[in-house]
């Protein structure tokens, strides 16, 4: 394993323009394209599951993902049982993305793990690192939600459409807005 990949996997600063990481990206491009060409039902269901097993770190039973799906690497994504992911999901998985069981993810949701240098010289040089994103069991992310690097959403929480989640959200709440804020507890 090359140094940049080792640094990325460790959550340290790395340069993504590395031959090994670019090869992983090419693999992901091919698998996402193959998945996105398949239909959601019918004889290609087994093919779709096989592609997801090759693409993702783990995928639970009964997971449904409507194409198109886009990700950075795929192997950092773990999805629990019976989760539904709607159209146009963007999962930038330079770091781990963990999605629990029974999660509902609306269209155009982004789960983002990469973060970049604030200093202009290192940012120009391309340095980045990744912070994990965790989505608890039975969460509902409304359409267009963005979850930022290093953020967790607690189990049984609902995040309203268009919210930008910049900080951890506790279990069992309704959060809305930009930045997302808790507006009430859910019973």
- Nearest 5°: CA angle at 116, between 11 and 143? 90
Confidence of residue 17 (pLDDT cuts 50, 70, 90): confident
pTM of the model: 0.94
Q: How far apart are CA 62 and CA 81, in angstroms?
A: 6
| Contact predicate 74/90, CB 8 Å | no
What tens digit of pLDDT does each residue of 75-99 get? 999 999 999 999 999 999 999 999 9
Which one of 116, 123, 184, 185 is the catalytic residue? 116
116 is an active site residue: yes
pLDDT band at 187 (very low <50, low <70, confident <90, very high): confident
Given a cut of 90, whether residue 144 has pLDDT beyond it is yes
Q: Where are the domains of the chain?
A: 3-185
CATH of region 3-185? 2.160.10.10
In this structure, the number of other CB atoms found within 10 A of the CB of residue 107 comes to: 15
Average pLDDT over residues 99-112: 98
Which has the minimum average pLDDT: 14-18, 40-44, 48-52, 146-150? 40-44
User: Are the C-beta atoms of residues 175 and 156 closer than 8 Å to each other?
Assistant: no
Instruction: Give burial (CB, 10 Å; 0-12/13-18/19+) of 85.
Output: buried
């Amino acid at each position: 394993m090359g140094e940049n990949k080792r640094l990325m996997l460790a959550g340290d600063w790395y340069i993504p323009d590395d031959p090994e990481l670019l090869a992983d990206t090419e693999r992901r491009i091919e698998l996402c394209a193959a998945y996105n060409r398949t239909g959601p039902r019918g004889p290609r269901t087994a093919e779709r599951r096989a592609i997801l097993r090759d693409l993702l770190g783990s995928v639970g039973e009964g997971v449904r993902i409507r194409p198109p799906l886009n990700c950075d690497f795929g192997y950092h994504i773990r999805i629990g049982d019976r989760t539904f992911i709607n159209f146009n999901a963007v999962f930038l998985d330079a770091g781990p993305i963990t999605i629990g069981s029974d999660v509902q993810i609306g269209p155009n949701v982004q789960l983002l793990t990469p973060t970049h240098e604030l200093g202009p010289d290192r940012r120009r040089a391309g340095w980045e690192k990744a912070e994990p994103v965790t989505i608890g069991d039975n969460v509902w992310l409304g359409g267009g939600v963005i979850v930022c690097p290093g953020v967790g959403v607690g189990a049984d929480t609902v995040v309203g459409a268009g919210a930008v989640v910049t900080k951890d959200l506790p279990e069992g709440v309704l959060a809305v807005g930009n930045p997302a804020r808790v507006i009430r507890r859910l019973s």
